[in-house]
Amino acid sequence: MTSPFNTHGSLSWHELTSTNPEEAIKFYSKVFGWSFSTLDLPHGRYYLIENHGANIGGITESLTPEMPSTWTGYITVEDVDEVAINARALGGELIYGPEDIPRIGRFCWIKDPTGAIIAAISYSPISKTEEG
């Protein structure tokens, strides 16, 4: 079955890095009707965004207070490490990772030569079976 979680090049996840996750949750739950569940991760709480029972993204607190709240798209790739190497070779900047997320996969954040930020992720076989 084709899904954004197993199709190379697909936008599969949307993540908000927020200066105030609780306020963002209140806002988006009322604007879009989203619900949220909480995961406790090593860096702090992570809020899964659920839409009609499907996980579509997450909200996390910004680890750098000077960084404004920002949405980032995650692109599914076959090999995050290869994407990170290629991005740097093509003039991009690796700003985070590659790093493993237990039971989810491996990801990195890339800044392209124009300054835009995007994330790449390779999902683990376990997370692909837990979609939705």
Please indicate, yes or no, if residue 2 is contained in any of the structural domains: no
**How many distinct structural domains can be found in the chain?**
1
Cα–Cα dist 6/4, whole Å:
6
Domain that holds residue 109: 11-129
Please indicate, yes or no, if residue 33 is contained in any of the structural domains: yes
What is the arithmetic mean of pLDDT over 6-34? 93
pTM of the predicted structure, to 2 decimals: 0.81
The count of C-alpha atoms lying within 13 angstroms of the C-alpha of 87, restricted to the half-sphere facing its C-beta, is: 27
What is the arithmetic mean of pLDDT over 26-35? 96
Please indicate, yes or no, if residue 4 is contained in any of the structural domains: no
Residue 129, pLDDT score = 45
Q: Which long-range contacts (CB under 8 A, 24 or more apart) does 85-91 make?
A: 87/112, 87/120
Please indicate, yes or no, if residue 65 is contained in any of the structural domains: yes
Number of DSSP helices (H) and strands (E) in the chain, helices first:
3, 8
> At 45, which helix (H) or strand (E)?
strand 44-51
pLDDT in tens, 54-79: 899 999 998 777 888 999 999 999 99
Q: Give first-to-last CA distance, the chain, whole Å.
A: 13
Token pair listed for 63:
């680890």
